[in-house]
Amino acid sequence: MTIEINDSAVTLFDSQVHKVYQEGYSLKGLVREKSVAGAKTIQFPVMNKGVAFQKAMHTDVVPSDVAHAPVTAAMNDWYAADYTDIFKNKQINFDEITELADILRNACGRRMDRILIDALAAAGGTGTVASSVGGANTDMNFAKFLAAMGALDDNGVPQDGRTIVMNHRAYRNLLNDDKFISSDYGQQRFDVTAKGNIKPYLGFNIVTINDRTENDGTLTGLPKDGSNDVTLFGFHRDSVGLGLNMEMKSETNYVPEKLAFLSTVMFSCGAVAIDGTGIVKITARQA
């Protein structure tokens, strides 16, 4: 095996990953992000509300005493890897490397989404919308959507930067609700924006994902309990933090003992809820 073929494989694999892995994310880019190379933990500062005082002549200024209390995201290392055998791959089959890049990228993208979902699920002090809203033990509907919007509105959460993430089944159920699809209520636009899987509606970016059961049985989609209650999440961009110790990167190495190329996609990150008042948990019954 010549060094020229090895270099060629490295170049192609790396370019393919950087070409397509951005499309594998559903939630990255919709939360607050902070990159610190080499960090074991990354902090996100939380500042409390301030107070405006009326100024009287010659009186001392009264400080607002704005409290600072950072939250911390612990970094964890993740990777997806596989071999490309030089014999079975006919001495370098570039189509195989392309397919492998897509598979590994998708695996890492699903994992990063799940890290953010776990942070949303662990958040305290959030708003809640019960499965009984809009009907007993019901899936996602227009009434639940309005309740989630109201929970953020009542907490003074800014309109700009809101996202609601749900599975495809919940979104299909929404499309069966006449109030959701009627322009008399929400002025829904059915076009998909340039970002891809994002549908704008009543100030929210609706993001849909599948249930994502991995080959080993682990769930990387939205949480689901034994009663078939799925938790959907509405959140503001600044209510969740994604810390990145190492951005997603790729490498390909020839392993002589295997007579194969080992292709790897890797990243290091952690996520944490910054402000629970900017998050709402919606329970949808999907029996």
Q: State the pairing for strand pair 127-129/71-74.
A: unpaired
pLDDT for residue 21: 40
pLDDT for residue 200: 85
Task: Identify any residues that bridge with 203 across adjacent strands, giving them in sequence order.
Answer: none
**Tell me, what DSSP letter sits at residue 278?**
G
pLDDT for residue 32: 96
Instruction: Express each pLDDT in 264-282 by its tens digit.
Output: 999 999 999 999 999 999 9
Residue 1 vs residues 103, 112, 157, 260, 264: alpha-carbon distances, Å: 26, 36, 59, 10, 20
pLDDT for residue 59: 85
Q: 188: left (phi > 0), else alpha (psi -120 to 50), else beta?
A: beta
Total residue count of the chain as it appears in this document: 287
Q: 73 exposed, middle or buried (CB, 10 Å; 0-12, 13-18, 19+)?
A: buried
Locate the domains of the chain by residue range: 3-47+65-285
pLDDT for residue 5: 61
Residue ranges in the chain whose pLDDT is less than 50: 1-2, 19-23, 190-194
pLDDT for residue 20: 44
CATH number corresponding to 3-47+65-285: 3.90.1690
3-state secondary structure of 155: coil
pLDDT for residue 102: 83
pLDDT for residue 91: 53
Radius of gyration from C-alpha coordinates of the chain? 23
Count CA atoms closer than 13 A to 112's CA, side-chain side: 33
CA dihedral 267, 220, 170, 139 (to 10 degrees): -140
Nearest to 25, CA basis, from 107, 81, 100: 107
pTM of the model: 0.86
**Tell me, what DSSP letter sits at residue 62?**
P
